[in-house]
Amino acid sequence: MSRVGVVTFPGSNCDADLRHAVSLFGMTPVAIWHKETALPPVDAVLLPGGFSYGDYLRCGAIARFSPVMADVVRFAGRGGPVLGICNGFQILTECGLLPGVLLRNEGLLFQCRDVELTVGGAPTPFTRGLAGQTLRLPIAHAEGNWFADEETVARVEGEGQVVFRYVANPNGALMSIAGVSNPAHNVVGLMPHPERYVEGAVGGTDGGGVFRSLAASIGPTQLRAEGANA
């Protein structure tokens, strides 16, 4: 059975939700504490939402220096699938795995509601089979306003790195961008929370597609993290 690591930082509050979502789709969740210096054997790594280190300095700015992140970067560099959701997205931009930054929302208000977003861009381990679909997912953030310079925006658009886009922009993000990938398309970040909508009893099931895609993308031949010296 595929193993999916879920990293917990001080202030994470969606890690349990992520582990539950992973288990619902036939994968084994592996809890990883941020002070670990090497990843255990896993087929993918997920960074959850929350308020790592209380969002001091900038969202994700301290968490990017957590010991485990050095091996997350190495894992991503070897092609391992990495997903950052909300605060996890912010951490991935801070450590340079994803382009752009997440600024305060336009209007400076915390946004907590359902949004619609379209799926596009190049295929990723988290969006295969979802291209062209419109998903309804919840957001809960104050710093979800994706921003980058003109050159970066042009590159991200041109290389198929925009994988999620808001139908109605809730936070002022450039080009209504809700999620992006890295150039190799194995690292993805998005602000909406797919793990919160995997069961109808809690409001929706559209988030299940992200985990179903991951389950189909990783298997016995998928590269696994094997520690800092791998």
pLDDT tens across 175-190, in order? 999 999 999 999 999 9
Residue 226 located in a structural domain: no
Residue 228 located in a structural domain: no
Query: Cα–Cα distance between 173 and 192 in angstroms, integer?
Result: 13
Q: Are 121 and 155 in contact (CB under 8 A)?
A: no
For residue 193, indicate whether it is catalytic.
yes
Overall average pLDDT of the 136-154 stretch: 96
For residue 20, indicate whether it is catalytic.
no
Q: Which of 14, 34, 59, 86 is catalytic?
A: 86
Question: 73-124 pLDDT, tens per residue?
Answer: 999 999 999 999 999 999 999 999 999 999 999 989 999 999 999 999 999 9
Confidence (pLDDT) at 55: 84
Residue 139 located in a structural domain: yes
pLDDT-derived band at 58 (thresholds 50, 70, 90) equals confident
Confidence (pLDDT) at 220: 52
Residue 61 located in a structural domain: yes
Q: Which helix (H) or strand (E) holds 217?
A: helix 208-217
Q: Are 6 and 31 in contact (CB under 8 A)?
A: yes
User: 143, 35, 157: which is closest to 93 by C-alpha?
Assistant: 143
Q: Which of 34, 141, 185, 193 is catalytic?
A: 193
Report residue 16 as tokens.
């349990």
Range of the domain at 94: 3-217
